[in-house]
Amino acid sequence: MKRSIIFSFSLPLSLLLVACAPGHDTAASLHQQAPVAKINTQLAHTQWPKNEWWKEFHDPELNALIAKALADAPDMQIAHQRIALAEAQAKMAVAAGGPQLDFSADAERQKMSAEGLMGPFAETDPAAGTTGPWYTNGTFGLTAGWDLDLWGKNRSQVEARIGKVNAQKAEMEQTRQLLASSVARLYWEWQTQAEIGHVLTDIKQKQESIIAVDRELYQHGITSSVEGVVTDINASKTQEQRAEVSGKMKAIEARLQALTNNTSVTLTPHPLPKIDASLPPTLGYDLLASRPDLQEAHWYIEASMNDVDAAKAAFYPDVNLMAFLQQDALHLSDLFRSSAQQMGGTAGLTLPIFDSGRLNANLDIAQAQSNLSVANYNKAVVDAVNQVARTASEVETLMNKNQQQQQVEADTARVVAQAQARFHAGIIAGSRVSEAKIPALQEHIASLTLQGQYVDATLQLTSALGGGYHHG
């Protein structure tokens, strides 16, 4: 008897499952690649190292600029709103899978047709209980429904939405890092130009001193006017360089105003950071796991895989439970009678049999989107590795150049020392000491330029590694 009952229920269910819309094979899934096996692409958001790497410069002015950019920049506002939208969509997906209870009420005034199906109600017949042709029908009550989600379609959609929320959070972190890096690079470029401008001012003063001496010698007939021409030309070139530096500083200030969403930016000169003797020992591709853009790409893969699962579950039947408890009466005066009460329950089943290929097309779209997400991740990994390799090489090259330039500065300093010694011995005039100092100052400008380039390269490397590499 039990076997016959089980058979009687299992046979219709088997037939229903066999009758489902046929699915076809989809494209093979792509595989994620990683630069090294140790990279953990599932690094949690709270584990990213040194998000506030710029504070290691111990520069309050730089900290204030970056804080202003992160608080008020339009890009950050957009990122925050994208997260809010993704979270709201995830909440909607969660709510869609739960039970639903609605209250509804309506009243309808209608005239019955004597020639229609309800013709007898168009007449007034006390024996039949009809008082036609006009009636005021009223209904109110509760309606409940619940999609059982036996195959996990709704759950997969929820997981996909959660993955997109995490991707948006990673995108916001990427925006945060790019903003901080851009502000820091512009800030130290301004500081570099400020120091170069200070040295150019010193050079201009010495050139003017030499010109004054040459003019005095010419007025006394000691030298010809030709001898001072070269110094005059060089002084004009120095003035051009000062104007160029001033223009660069103003342009940087304008860019900082845009990044910080501020009407004005006033900076004060600060010394450039010191150059490290060697790259930190913690530098390695395993730090790529900290890159927000790779985290974002990873979460999009997770979301797309859940979308594929949801598309596959759509081939199976949906089972819905529905129930209602209502008051329904043909006359409003009878609406609240106990005899007007009606209730019922329904177990509904929706089975896709023939849909002209819609479900298969939806599955193909989900699978293609998943493969596209994997391909984007793989490209992001390759680009990240190349970026780190390129910037690390640039940092090392600039480090060597700075060391060589320090030696050049040391050599020019000896020339200046010799000139000063000869001046104190009465062998040469003081203007010749100034002439000896000008090449040394020009080499110092070269040193400042290289130092600024080194700082900029380290900031690019910091950004390439996802947030700080010179910390313990």
**Does some domain include residue 326?**
no
**Does some domain include residue 419?**
yes
**Does some domain include residue 83?**
yes
**Contact present, 437 and 250 (Cβ < 8 Å):** no
**Predicted local confidence at residue 200, as pLDDT:** 94
**Does some domain include residue 345?**
no
State the CATH number of the domain containing residue 79: 1.20.1600.10
**Does some domain include residue 336?**
no
**Predicted local confidence at residue 469, as pLDDT:** 38
> Can you tell me which residue has the tokens 């970026």?
387
**Does some domain include residue 75?**
yes
pLDDT digits (tens, 9 = 90+) for 286-297: 667 778 888 888
Rounded Cα–Cα distance for residues 208 and 323 (Å): 97
Per DSSP, 287 falls in state: G
**How many alpha carbons lie under 13 Å from residue 83 in its C-beta half-sphere?**
15
> Can you tell me which residue has the tokens 């293609």?
368
**Predicted local confidence at residue 40, as pLDDT:** 41
Per DSSP, 268 falls in state: -
pTM: 0.74
Q: For residue 107, is it left (φ>0), alpha (ψ between -120 and 50) or beta?
A: beta
**Does some domain include residue 262?**
yes
pLDDT digits (tens, 9 = 90+) for 263-287: 888 899 999 988 765 555 555 556 6
**Predicted local confidence at residue 409, as pLDDT:** 87
Q: Which residue stretches of the chain have pLDDT < 70?
A: 1-50, 214, 216-231, 276-287, 429-431, 468-472
**Contact present, 313 and 152 (Cβ < 8 Å):** yes
- The 3-state DSSP class for residue 33 equals coil
Cis peptide before 12, with omega less than 30 degrees from 0? no
Closest CA to 177 of 370, 278, 48, 30: 48
Question: H or E segment at 137?
Answer: strand 134-147
Rounded Cα–Cα distance for residues 457 and 399 (Å): 10
Rounded Cα–Cα distance for residues 39 and 130 (Å): 80
How many domains does the chain divide into? 1
**Does some domain include residue 240?**
yes
Residue 237 belongs to what domain range? 29-112+155-317+356-464
